[in-house]
Amino acid sequence: MCGIAGVFYKGPEPYGPLGKTLVDMCQELFRRGTDSAGFAVYSEPKADTYLVRVDLDPALFSEGDGHAVADAAGELVRVTDFKSAGHNVRLEVDSDADGKLADRIEDRVDGARVFSIGRSMEIIKDLGAADDIDKVYHVARIQGSHGIGHTRMATESRVDTAHSHPFWARPFPDIAVVHNGHITNYHKLRRHLELKGHQFSTGNDSEVIAVYLADRLEDGHSMQDALEASVSDLDGTFAYLVSTKDGIGLARDQFAMKPLLFAEDDELVVLASEECAIRKVLRDPHLVPRELQAKEVRSWLRS
Amino acid sequence: MAQVLAGTVVLDAEGLSTRAINVAIARLLAEGATDIEVLNVVGQHCLAVALKTQARIHFKGSVGWYAAGMNDGAHIVIDGNCGWGLAECQMGGRVEVHGNAGSGTSVSIRGGLVFIRGDCGARAGISMKGGTLIIGGSAGYLSGFMMQRGTIIICGDAADGLGDSMYEGTIYVGGNVAAYGADAVEKAPTDQDRDFLRTALKEFGIDADRLDFKKVESGRRLWNFSKQEPELWRSAL
């Protein structure tokens, strides 16, 4: 059991209280996943800027440390901003060095793990509840256009920050996935994607969904096509949300084993495993959330 | 917290946990309340479970998972939606949801009535052992699976696997069936069936005569294992 949540603001000025909304929803879903929580948030992109989020091993780094990460990044790209909170470093840089930046940081700095690189996306995740994470990383202050969140109850892989959701589709900027369920053909799919040259950062089955979708999108498929193909290519149980710079997509397995609802009006779309999370942020009683059918896929994208 | 209004006791659930709401309902019932309105519910789980009473409990909003479980006699009305596992193992009484329902609605009920005004998720009415489930909208994947007795009426469409491996009982479908499950057999409804549908749906404002109902029952070919029909068993299992 895990909890997933998503928010997508519509309209020409699609920026709202994204962080606060996702934290509130994930806190409401705490009982579905008490091990860890995390968020992929999309804020307004700045010209010539990539956002980098790096997690540092607390055994090797004390809080506020992490300038080594900026130094390593500085070998390849220009670092324009450096911030540190908890055991997390946030950089603003002028490029992702054609996908090489994450590898360089991890090669140079022992105990560093790159959680995300994107033009508008940042992944913030840690052990504990959504509220605890917000206290350290101030997720609720983030204004954004769309994002996804997760509360994790680990079943298949270890409980640590790296195995928490969302998963970045490394090295593709701005693509992340949150998943509730279990991918039973994980090893086969992973081998197939590794043969195509993709790399994996963890042993978590959900990471394969992110890489699988990024691979499809890179091959020129539309989001809708990638989602539809995933329903037959992924074996097991799943309700997942994928986010890209353009918006959010979702899919549900053929047995409808994992819950997922959405509610939508003219201004926003909210998605969650349970209605209580939707009601927490959307109290308009006239909006009726709907549970997705088996094999259903949907996407909300800005063109 | 609770106030009496012309025979109806109003309970404001704003900010209350599942336990606090259920304890308040139990206390009001013990004090003799027969009609309770619960305001400001926002999808809390496990509300109004295991009630052995004739009282009416009316939730003005959406409830979460496992609402009205093991109901035995109560009349529970939900103005919004409900999550998974509504009225599981209901023994008797009546549950009405005037929005949509999640998956596993009315599973294993033995008696009483469950009515969903909108759509149901997957596995509605599986393993029913009696009672009636009426769905005003559509039913999701594998509804009526291994049903043993009782009646399901689906006014809208049914998704894949309808009535899979049902033993007995009857399913009526007013819309389209995406695909029948193993050994679920479509039959023509009789005049008696039509009378029953007319009566059952009338009180919910649904005109049975405007829908072209199909009747679905067990083909009973899975009742006893037979080596002579390997294909049937391969597809059923």
- CATH number of the domain encompassing residue A135: 3.60.20.10
Q: Give the amino acid at A54.
A: V
Is it the case that residue B168 has pLDDT exceeding 60? yes
Which of A85, A118, A151 is at the close of a domain? Answer: A118
Residue A285: its pLDDT value, please? 76
Cβ A277 vs Cβ A222: under 8 Å: no
Average pLDDT estimate for B154-168: 97
- Threshold 0.90, pTM exceeds: yes
Q: How many domains does chain A have?
A: 2
Establish whether the linkage from the previous residue to A12 is cis, with ω within 30° of 0: no
Q: For chain B, list residues whose CB is within 8 angstroms of any CB belonging to chain A.
A: 42-45, 61-62, 64-65, 80-81, 83-84, 99-100, 102-103, 118-119, 121-123, 140-142, 159-160
Residue B225: its pLDDT value, please? 86
B196: in domain: yes
The domain containing residue A295 runs over which residues? 3-45+124-301
Is it the case that residue A72 has pLDDT exceeding 90? yes
The reply to whether A35 and A60 lie within a common domain is no
Which of A32, A279, A282, A296 would you mutate first to test chain B, the one with the most B CBs within 10 A? Answer: A279
- Condensed to tens digits (0 to 9), the pLDDT of residues B89-137 reads 999 999 999 999 999 999 999 999 999 999 999 999 999 999 999 999 9
Determine the Cα–Cα distance for residues B65 and A20; give it in Å rounded to an integer: 25
Residues of A classed as catalytic: 2
The reply to whether A68 and A187 lie within a common domain is no
Residue B4: its pLDDT value, please? 64
The reply to whether A35 and A18 lie within a common domain is yes
Closest C-alpha among B45, B41, B76, B46 to residue B61: B41
For the four alpha carbons of A161, A273, A270 and A204, in that order, the dihedral sign comes to positive
The reply to whether A65 and A37 lie within a common domain is no
B24: in domain: no
Average pLDDT estimate for B144-167: 97
| DSSP one-letter code for B126 | T
How far away is chain A from the Cα of B117, in angstroms, using its nearest Cα? 12
Is it the case that residue A283 has pLDDT exceeding 80? no
Residue A65: its pLDDT value, please? 80
Determine the Cα–Cα distance for residues B134 and A139; give it in Å rounded to an integer: 44
Determine the Cα–Cα distance for residues B148 and A202; give it in Å rounded to an integer: 46
The reply to whether A239 and A154 lie within a common domain is yes
The reply to whether A21 and A52 lie within a common domain is no
B146: in domain: yes
B87: in domain: no
The domain containing residue B131 runs over which residues? 100-236
Which residues in chain A have Cβ-Cβ distances shorter than 8 Å to B159? 293-294
B35: in domain: no
- Condensed to tens digits (0 to 9), the pLDDT of residues B191-213 reads 999 999 999 999 999 999 999 99
Cβ contacts below 8 Å, chain A against chain B, sum to: 68
Is it the case that residue B35 has pLDDT exceeding 60? yes
Residue B2: its pLDDT value, please? 64
Determine the Cα–Cα distance for residues B236 and B225; give it in Å rounded to an integer: 11
B5: in domain: no
Which of A69, A96, A118 is at the close of a domain? Answer: A118
Which residues in chain B have Cβ-Cβ distances shorter than 8 Å to A261? 102
Cβ A125 vs Cβ A36: under 8 Å: yes
Residue A287: its pLDDT value, please? 86
Q: Predicted ipTM?
A: 0.89
Residue B3: its pLDDT value, please? 66
DSSP secondary structure string for all residues of B5-39: ETTEEEEE-TT--HHHHHHHHHHHHHTT-SEEEEE
Residue A303: its pLDDT value, please? 75
pLDDT mean across residues, chain A: 95
Q: How many domains does chain B have?
A: 1
The reply to whether A183 and A64 lie within a common domain is no
Q: How confident is residue A102, by pLDDT bands cut at 50, 70 and 90?
A: very high
For the four alpha carbons of B33, B35, B40 and B46, in that order, the dihedral sign comes to positive
Is it the case that residue B5 has pLDDT exceeding 70? no
The reply to whether A137 and A108 lie within a common domain is no
CATH number for the domain spanning A57: value is: 3.30.70.60
Q: How confident is residue B87, by pLDDT bands cut at 50, 70 and 90?
A: very high
pLDDT more than 70, % of chain B: 97
Determine the Cα–Cα distance for residues A181 and A234; give it in Å rounded to an integer: 11
Is it the case that residue B1 has pLDDT exceeding 70? no
The reply to whether A63 and A158 lie within a common domain is no
pLDDT more than 90, % of chain B: 91
| DSSP one-letter code for A98 | G
Determine the Cα–Cα distance for residues B137 and B117; give it in Å rounded to an integer: 6
Q: How confident is residue A61, by pLDDT bands cut at 50, 70 and 90?
A: confident
Closest C-alpha among A95, A98, A107, A65 to residue A82: A65
pLDDT mean across residues, chain B: 95
Residue A176: its pLDDT value, please? 98
CB atoms within 10 A of CB A259: 26
pLDDT more than 90, % of chain A: 88
The reply to whether A270 and A237 lie within a common domain is yes
The reply to whether A182 and A40 lie within a common domain is yes
How many Cα atoms occupy the beta-carbon half-sphere of B130 within 13 Å?
Answer: 8
Residue B152: its pLDDT value, please? 98
3-state secondary structure at position A252: strand
CB atoms within 10 A of CB A76: 18
B192: in domain: yes
Q: How confident is residue B6, by pLDDT bands cut at 50, 70 and 90?
A: low
The region that residue A99 occupies, defined by phi over 0 for left and psi between -120 and 50 for alpha, beta otherwise, is left
